[in-house]
Amino acid sequence: MTDHQTARSFMGRAGYLGAAAGFAVCMAGTTLPTPLYGLYQEQIGFSELMVTVVFAIYAFGVIGVLLLVGNVSDSVGRRPVLLCGLALAACSALAFLAEGGLPLLALGRLLSGLSAGLFTGTATAYVLELAPPGHQARAGFVATAANIGGLGCGPVLSGLLAEYTRHPLTLPFAVHLVLLAASFTVTWLLPETVTGARPLRTARPRRPSLPPEVRGVFVPAGLAAFAGFSLLGVFTSVSPAFLAQRLDVHNPAVVGLIVCTAFFASILGQLLVPRLGTARAIPIGCLVLIAGLALMAGSLAWTALPLLVLSALVGGAGQGMGLRGAVGEIAAAAPAEHRGGALSALFVVAYFGISIPVIGIGLLTAPIGLAHAGLVFTACMALLAAASGAYLLRRARAGS
């Protein structure tokens, strides 16, 4: 056996962890700019609305990829799609390193969105398929934890480097390039899990499809994902401005840690799902998410930092329970040949949650102020979370 074959054999046994590591690295790049928006505003000079638009460019990049090629990995294989995603993430980092003003900042966000779009559904399915027999539940947690944990690590990494080094706008992306190179190598060594995968050049745009088996659970799962991801979107786009303008917090490292709190609370929420069961996790997660939104409303109304941190902890936990429950329900219901497409469809809805409410807050900030815009957001998302939980409870009673 050659060294290359030996490496592939090892990666076959521990492959799902390697795939999850690459997943986390890719997603970390999407939140690296979060603590840096204030520095970009000082350097380039643009409004709070433009911050939300630049952030939304990323989300629309994700949505575009998921809609056009969300299920392409079901036919051409997982590995080539993920390698393309890592290459796009590297191009995004290079765009940020160029520091060419608002156009390159927007281009970097778009490329980051394209890379995340390729990774989100594909990497989730890949981690599940690479897991050894009997480890599916653990692999489901690893996949969602890699996604959310990567998103949480990005602000911490860039915040610390921005505060304590001399190159706040370049060093975070240089470090990310190194991590991407390592992830590319690991992914290259992973085995393919799609039987009869066709060459990448045969890929054609196809919308994500919902097999009949998935449709019954998709509506409540999608609503929960939309509301939960909207909370994370607010933390990664608008909260730095709120911390600076209303709470006088200008330290990028502190901003990064507060944003990270929501993402790591999400992972803790996901850990509770095996005890609850995926079906119960979605309505319970919605209830916890509503509590987190209420705490966010309190922090906006009374300008209270402790309430904002509590909203990150509680809301993040609710988002994590709902997300893992939704992914578990859809992955279990979808046939293997449609799993990547079904998961991509779920994340299309989730990333609409990141983009549309965030843009709404940006539009409302000028006429009514950031705090009042945030209060409108929390009320709307609480209603959506309540609708999802009520739908599932009514469905469960009807089936019993």
- pLDDT tens per residue across span 8-38: 444 545 778 899 999 999 999 999 999 998 8
Please give the model's pTM, rounded to 2 decimal places: 0.85
Q: CB count, 10 Å around CB of 168?
A: 17
The structure tokens listed for 361 are 């807050």
* Arithmetic mean of pLDDT, 340-354: 84
The type of residue at 146 is: A
Element (H, E) at 169: none
Contact assessment for residue 152 and residue 260, using Cβ atoms and an 8 Å cutoff = yes
Contact assessment for residue 111 and residue 88, using Cβ atoms and an 8 Å cutoff = yes
CA distances from 108 to 29, 54, 206 (A): 10, 10, 25
The structure tokens listed for 38 are 């204030």
Q: How confident is the model at residue 75 (pLDDT cuts 50, 70, 90)?
A: confident
Q: How confident is the model at residue 205 (pLDDT cuts 50, 70, 90)?
A: low
* Arithmetic mean of pLDDT, 191-203: 79
- Residues 6+ away with beta carbon under 8 Å from 374: 234, 238, 242, 296, 297, 300, 361
Strand, coil or helix: 277: coil
Please count the residues of the chain. 400
Contact assessment for residue 370 and residue 246, using Cβ atoms and an 8 Å cutoff = yes
What proportion of the chain, given as a percentage, has pLDDT over 90?
42
pLDDT number for residue 312: 95
Contact assessment for residue 287 and residue 269, using Cβ atoms and an 8 Å cutoff = no
Among 199-203, 214-218, 254-258, 330-334, top mean pLDDT goes to 254-258
Contact assessment for residue 205 and residue 69, using Cβ atoms and an 8 Å cutoff = yes
* Arithmetic mean of pLDDT, 280-305: 92
